[in-house]
Amino acid sequence: MKVLVVGGGGREHALCWKLAQSPRVKEVLCAPGNAGTALVARNVGIAATDVDKLVHLAQHEQVGLVVIGPEEPLCQGLADRLRAAKIAVFGPSAAAARLEGSKLFAKEFLTRHRIPTAGFRRFDRSGVAKAYLEGCTQWPQVIKADGLAAGKGVFVVKSAREACTVVDQLMEERRLGDSGAQICIEEFLVGEEVSVLALVDGESLCVLEPVMDHKQVGDGDSGPNTGGMGVYSPVALFNRRLSWQVEQNVLIPTLHGLRREELDYRGVLFVGLMLTESGPRVLEYNCRFGDPETQAIMRRWKGDLLPYLLATAQKKLSELEAPEWDPRTCVGVVAASEGYPGAYRKGDVISGLDDAARAPEVVVFHAGTKLSPSRSVLTDGGRVLCVTALGDTVDDARSRAYSGFDKIRWDGKFGRRDIGVRHATARTF
């Protein structure tokens, strides 16, 4: 069968790479893809948000499954449009994707279904929000724009003054457009963060291996938040007791909530959790695979991915055994362009990719890259590559990943040097 992967980041490269290994997949198409997906798939120059053209492409190419990577097309209803055209699709409906597309919808869903999360208040007028903040005695507080903001809509604020400035920027100046028309102000939670992903077909779920992301741009978790600067999996601190708690208190109630509210969820549910002293609490839902979490998950996934994605699309997940995992550790280090997560450089020539790929157990996934007319690989985004490696221990995987990372060069390349180090220092819960 032909499979179409929608998107063009590192997550999509990892999905294309894994799907291309399936004996049942004749061809992988990727729209729009990047220089890395071009190595394992046929790139088609259609934007991930061009819903009409994507539906037409899927019909014209007679693809057997569409896998939707990013959140925007999901929130725009790409999955609904494909289903209406009788095409199997891995990705939730627009109504269900509101779990990611609206922070307030997600918080109210969590409350309705008694799923543990941070306490919150909803505001649609800046004056009321500021009056509330002036009266707060507990700091920090967390302010979240309701709508999609490409990871730029969450602010941890330490004083009423700082908080009121953020409220004005979001609600008056509309720095994030309509996404900031309503906001959520929530309690600041303390603990370790972990990402848990589960395939959900509306009736059952299949929990994937947990992954630890590193959100902040600098070593030792310093500097502003990013989409994720590196990952490791498995996560030692996420022990069996925690995994049981998350399944019982978060995942199963979420599945029941989706069913009760008749939300058509057939895709991957990504739960960002804070492991607090009073147990795991939900920070956010995403309705898609994480990036760079997916790169680590695909490296550790043994066997064929296609049957799982197809069964999710067809509501047949319960017919499959749990997937098998490579017991080794995967570490993934993101190589980014100077300036990221702010304004960054683009168009620099990347060298050393082949050398890095020859390093033992290393696979380099592309994120923001493109091919020049002379076929050299150029930087084309803030997060450019994710260098992944497997190893028997975190230290083995780390040193392999960094030896691959260090072989790659371009002007302005940078990355964190401490991915996986926290593993050793994380306290237990």
Q: Which does 291 bind (CB under 5 to 8 A by kind): ligand GLY, ligand AMP, none?
A: ligand GLY
Contact (Cβ atoms closer than 8 angstroms) between residue 343 and residue 238: no
Candidates 192, 293, 348, 380: give the one binding ligand GLY (CB under 6 A). Answer: 293
35-43, 290-298, 360-368, 373-381 -> range binding ligand GLY (CB under 6 A): 290-298
Per CB under 6 A, the list member of 8, 234, 290, 391 interacting with ligand GLY is 290
Say whether residue 284 binds ligand AMP (CB under 6 A).
yes
Q: Under a CB-based contact definition with an 8 Å cutoff, are residues 322 and 206 in contact? A: yes
Nearer to ligand GLY, 117 or 286 (CB): 286
How many Å apart are CA 337 and CA 113, to the nearest integer?
Answer: 41
Applying CB under 6 A, among 37, 141, 286, 369 the residue interacting with ligand GLY is: 286
Contact present, 255 and 237 (Cβ < 8 Å): no
Q: Is 215 among the residues that bind ligand AMP (CB under 6 A)?
A: yes
Shortest Cβ 259–ligand GLY spacing (Å): 25
Residue 227 binds ligand GLY, judged by CB under 6 A: yes
**In terms of C-beta distances under 8 Å and separation of at least 24 residues, what long-range contacts does 189-193 make, across chains too?**
189/118, 189/274, 189/276, 189/281, 189/283, 190/274, 190/276, 190/277, 191/274, 191/275, 191/276, 191/277, 191/429, 192/237, 192/274, 192/275, 192/426, 192/427, 192/429, 193/272, 193/273, 193/274, 193/275, 193/283
H or E stretch including 3? strand 2-7
The site string for ligand AMP over 180-209 (x = CB under 6 A, - otherwise) reads ------xxxx---x----------------
- With CB cut-offs between 5 and 8 Å by kind, which of ligand AMP, ligand GLY, none does residue 249 bind? none
118 binds, among ligand GLY, ligand AMP, none (CB under 5 to 8 A by kind): ligand AMP
Minimum CB separation from ligand AMP for residue 186, in Å?
5
Rounded Cα distance between 68 and 31, Å, is 10
Strands 27-32 and 42-43: parallel
Applying CB under 6 A, which of residues 44, 136, 154, 371 lies at the interface with ligand AMP? 154
CA distances from residue 13 to 203, 318, 322, 362 in whole angstroms, order as listed: 29, 27, 24, 15
* Binding partner at 154 among ligand AMP, ligand GLY, none, C-beta below 5 to 8 Å by kind: ligand AMP
Residues that bind ligand AMP (CB under 6 A): 118, 142, 154, 156, 186-189, 193, 215, 225, 272, 283-284
